[in-house]
Structure 1
C-alpha cells in the first residue's frame, strides 16, 4: 500500500475504526484510492447515529468499497429501534408536565411567603418611608 493511505488510515482511526489499515488495504487491492473513501466517510458522518455500532458499519462498508460506488449504496439498514430508544431516553430526561407544574407552584408559593413576611413591615411604615424603601431597593 502506498504512503498516501497513511492520512486516511489515521482519519479512520480517529473516527473509531479499529482495523482501519485492513479496510484501506482491502479497498486499495480492489483499485480504490484514498479519495474514493471521502464521500463515503462524509455520508456516514451525517448518519452515524442511526446504527448501534457505527464504527463497525463504516469499517465493513469501506472494506468492501469498489471504485465508482455511490456513497449512498451498500450500507446496512439503519437500526429501527435506535431512534425510538433515543427518543424515549430524551423523554425520560425531560421533566414531565406534572413535575414542571409542581416546580412552578413551589416557586410561586415561595414568592407568596416572602411577600407575606414583608407585608407587616411595609404596612407599619409611613407612605414616605415606603417610597424611600422602594427607591432604595430599586437603585441597588
Structure 2
C-alpha cells in the first residue's frame, strides 16, 4: 500500500518542483527581479532579445513579452496574455494612464493596472528616460 501511495505521489511532487525557463512557475535559471510585492518577474536574454515573464504571488504565469531595439512582442502565454499592451499592439483599447511598476530596467518598464472588472491590464514599453543628456542623444 505504501509503495502504491509513493507511486501516485511521485508525479504530483514532480509537478510542484521548480523548473528552468520561460513559462515556469518558479524558474531556477534566473532570479525574481520584481519591484512590486505580489508579483514575481523573471528575465532572460538570448541572442539580443530580452524575455520578461510576470507571475502572480502563487507562481501562475500572467504575461510574457519579448523585446529588442524598442520593439515589443507579446508572447501568447499566461492567464492575462490578452491584457498585455505594447507600443506595437492594437491601439483600439486605450493604454492605461496609471499603474504600478512591476519591473523596470534601463530600457523596459512593465506596469500593472487593476481594472474595475477585477482583471489587471499590463503594459510593456520603453522605460522613461531620466538622464537629459542620454535622452537627447539616443532614440528609444
Q: Provide the TM-score with structure 2 as the length reference.
A: 0.24
Q: Provide the TM-score with structure 1 as the length reference.
A: 0.24
Larger relative contact order (Cα-Cα within 8 Å, sequence gap ≥ 6) = 1
Q: Which has the higher helix share?
A: 1
Q: Which has the higher strand share?
A: 2
